[in-house]
Amino acid sequence: MIRRLTIKTTGRGLHPLRGLGDIVRESGAAEGLCTLFIRHTSASLLIQENADPSARRDLEAWLDRLVPENDPLYTHHDEGPDDMPAHVKAALTQTSLSIPIVGGSLALGRWQGVFLWEHRRGPHEREVVVHIG
Protein backbone atom coordinates (compact mmCIF):
# COMPACT_ATOMS: atom_id res chain seq x y z
CA MET A 1 0.00 0.00 0.00
CA ILE A 2 1.32 3.44 -0.92
CA ARG A 3 0.01 6.76 0.36
CA ARG A 4 1.22 10.31 0.09
CA LEU A 5 1.17 12.78 2.96
CA THR A 6 1.26 16.51 2.26
CA ILE A 7 2.68 18.56 5.10
CA LYS A 8 2.44 22.33 5.11
CA THR A 9 5.32 23.67 7.15
CA THR A 10 5.44 27.10 8.75
CA GLY A 11 9.20 27.39 8.30
CA ARG A 12 12.25 25.90 9.98
CA GLY A 13 11.80 23.27 12.61
CA LEU A 14 10.63 19.78 13.41
CA HIS A 15 7.01 19.23 12.37
CA PRO A 16 5.23 16.08 13.64
CA LEU A 17 4.05 13.69 10.92
CA ARG A 18 0.43 13.22 11.85
CA GLY A 19 -1.71 10.44 10.48
CA LEU A 20 0.92 7.70 10.20
CA GLY A 21 -0.88 5.51 12.75
CA ASP A 22 -4.12 5.89 10.78
CA ILE A 23 -2.39 4.84 7.56
CA VAL A 24 -0.95 1.75 9.26
CA ARG A 25 -4.36 0.81 10.66
CA GLU A 26 -6.06 1.35 7.27
CA SER A 27 -3.48 -0.93 5.64
CA GLY A 28 -4.57 -3.83 7.85
CA ALA A 29 -0.93 -4.89 8.27
CA ALA A 30 -0.42 -6.71 11.57
CA GLU A 31 3.32 -7.02 10.92
CA GLY A 32 5.53 -5.48 8.30
CA LEU A 33 7.45 -2.34 7.54
CA CYS A 34 6.44 1.28 7.12
CA THR A 35 8.87 3.09 4.85
CA LEU A 36 8.75 6.88 4.57
CA PHE A 37 10.46 8.92 1.85
CA ILE A 38 10.49 12.71 1.54
CA ARG A 39 10.55 14.02 -2.02
CA HIS A 40 12.65 17.13 -1.37
CA THR A 41 16.31 18.17 -1.08
CA SER A 42 15.94 20.86 1.58
CA ALA A 43 13.92 18.97 4.20
CA SER A 44 14.38 15.63 5.90
CA LEU A 45 12.79 13.02 8.16
CA LEU A 46 13.71 12.22 11.74
CA ILE A 47 12.68 10.03 14.65
CA GLN A 48 13.19 12.09 17.79
CA GLU A 49 12.02 12.93 21.32
CA ASN A 50 8.28 13.62 21.24
CA ALA A 51 7.66 14.67 24.85
CA ASP A 52 9.92 17.61 25.69
CA PRO A 53 10.12 20.22 22.89
CA SER A 54 13.37 21.58 24.34
CA ALA A 55 15.18 18.49 22.97
CA ARG A 56 14.02 19.38 19.45
CA ARG A 57 14.95 23.06 19.90
CA ASP A 58 18.44 22.09 21.09
CA LEU A 59 18.89 19.78 18.11
CA GLU A 60 17.78 22.51 15.70
CA ALA A 61 20.14 25.04 17.30
CA TRP A 62 23.04 22.57 17.15
CA LEU A 63 22.53 21.89 13.43
CA ASP A 64 22.24 25.64 12.74
CA ARG A 65 25.65 26.14 14.40
CA LEU A 66 27.13 23.25 12.43
CA VAL A 67 25.75 24.49 9.08
CA PRO A 68 25.48 28.30 9.22
CA GLU A 69 24.03 30.58 6.60
CA ASN A 70 26.32 32.87 4.57
CA ASP A 71 29.33 30.57 4.62
CA PRO A 72 31.74 32.17 2.11
CA LEU A 73 32.52 28.73 0.64
CA TYR A 74 28.94 28.25 -0.66
CA THR A 75 28.54 28.85 -4.40
CA HIS A 76 24.85 27.86 -4.67
CA HIS A 77 22.71 30.90 -3.81
CA ASP A 78 19.75 30.47 -6.19
CA GLU A 79 17.00 30.74 -3.58
CA GLY A 80 18.58 32.87 -0.88
CA PRO A 81 21.00 32.49 2.03
CA ASP A 82 19.09 29.58 3.62
CA ASP A 83 19.08 27.48 0.42
CA MET A 84 22.52 25.85 0.47
CA PRO A 85 22.53 25.30 4.24
CA ALA A 86 19.16 23.52 3.82
CA HIS A 87 20.69 21.17 1.24
CA VAL A 88 23.66 20.41 3.52
CA LYS A 89 21.34 19.76 6.48
CA ALA A 90 19.20 17.40 4.38
CA ALA A 91 22.37 15.57 3.26
CA LEU A 92 23.48 15.15 6.90
CA THR A 93 20.12 13.85 8.07
CA GLN A 94 17.70 11.37 6.45
CA THR A 95 15.43 11.37 3.42
CA SER A 96 13.89 8.00 4.32
CA LEU A 97 12.95 6.06 7.44
CA SER A 98 11.92 2.45 7.99
CA ILE A 99 9.78 1.64 11.02
CA PRO A 100 8.66 -1.90 11.87
CA ILE A 101 4.95 -2.61 12.26
CA VAL A 102 4.22 -4.90 15.21
CA GLY A 103 0.73 -5.80 16.36
CA GLY A 104 -0.81 -3.45 13.79
CA SER A 105 1.06 -0.36 15.08
CA LEU A 106 4.33 1.42 14.47
CA ALA A 107 6.95 -0.07 16.82
CA LEU A 108 8.11 3.32 18.07
CA GLY A 109 9.40 3.69 21.61
CA ARG A 110 7.46 5.56 24.26
CA TRP A 111 9.27 8.87 23.72
CA GLN A 112 9.76 8.62 19.96
CA GLY A 113 7.91 10.64 17.37
CA VAL A 114 8.29 10.95 13.59
CA PHE A 115 9.05 14.43 12.31
CA LEU A 116 9.53 16.27 9.07
CA TRP A 117 12.50 18.59 9.53
CA GLU A 118 12.02 21.74 7.50
CA HIS A 119 15.39 23.34 6.83
CA ARG A 120 14.15 26.45 4.99
CA ARG A 121 13.03 29.63 6.76
CA GLY A 122 9.81 30.10 4.80
CA PRO A 123 6.69 27.92 4.71
CA HIS A 124 6.67 25.04 2.23
CA GLU A 125 4.38 22.23 1.15
CA ARG A 126 6.26 18.95 1.46
CA GLU A 127 5.32 15.50 0.22
CA VAL A 128 6.14 12.27 2.04
CA VAL A 129 5.54 8.92 0.36
CA VAL A 130 4.44 6.20 2.80
CA HIS A 131 4.81 2.54 1.82
CA ILE A 132 3.36 -0.23 3.98
CA GLY A 133 4.67 -3.67 3.16
Q: Which domain holds residue 97?
A: 2-70+77-132
Count of structural domains, the chain: 1
Report DSSP letters for the chain, one per residue.
-EEEEEEE--SSEEEE-TTHHHHHHHHT-SEEEEEEEE--SSEEEEEEE-S-HHHHHHHHHHHHHHS-TT-TT----TT-TTHHHHHHHHHHSBSEEEEEEETTEE---TTEEEEEEE-SSS--EEEEEEEE-
Residue 114 pLDDT: 98
pLDDT one-digit tens code per residue, 71-107? 999 999 889 999 999 999 999 999 999 999 999 999 9
Residue 77 pLDDT: 87
Please tell me whether the overall predicted TM-score, pTM, comes out greater than 0.75 for this model: yes
pLDDT one-digit tens code per residue, 8-61? 999 999 999 999 999 999 999 999 999 999 999 999 999 999 999 999 999 999
| Whole-number Å distance between alpha carbons of 46 and 32 | 20
CATH of the domain at 34: 2.60.120.460
